[in-house]
Amino acid sequence: MTGSILLVEDNELNREMLLRRLKRAGLTVITAADGQEALDLMVSELPAVVLMDMSLPVLDGWTACRRARQDERINHIPIIALTAHAMEEDRLKALKAGCDDYATKPVDFPELLRKIGTLTRP
């Protein structure tokens, strides 16, 4: 995979744990702690994929995804929702907000890597 991954997670422990695992997998990772920072980094860094927590301060993940899809500079960037909400309606809500895929917490890391690979293939 070329390009970086934008990891958007407000919980510092979750962010650091995922950051370490992604880096160990050989990926380049940038991080954001809220939805507005995520949108700003999407525009400035153009990551290959975004891992977006949905429960975020400042601007929640649902709103950040909808805004990303309305911005022609970044609407092509794949977004994977990361959420503790594991019900089918939560998955559908994430997809409706503009996410390309969905992963529940705690994260199944091999499955997350598979999803990243699928969404970042040329």
Give the pLDDT of residue 19: 97
- pLDDT by 10-residue block (mean), the chain, 122 residues: 88 95 97 98 97 93 96 97 83 91 92 95 78
Give the pLDDT of residue 2: 67
Give the pLDDT of residue 88: 80
Helices marked H in the chain: 12-24, 35-45, 61-70, 88-97, 109-120
Place of tokens 């909808």: 66
Q: How many domains does the chain have?
A: 1
What range does the domain containing 74 cover?
5-120
Judge if pTM exceeds 0.85. yes
Give the domain CATH number at 42: 3.40.50.2300
Give the pLDDT of residue 47: 97
Give the pLDDT of residue 1: 58
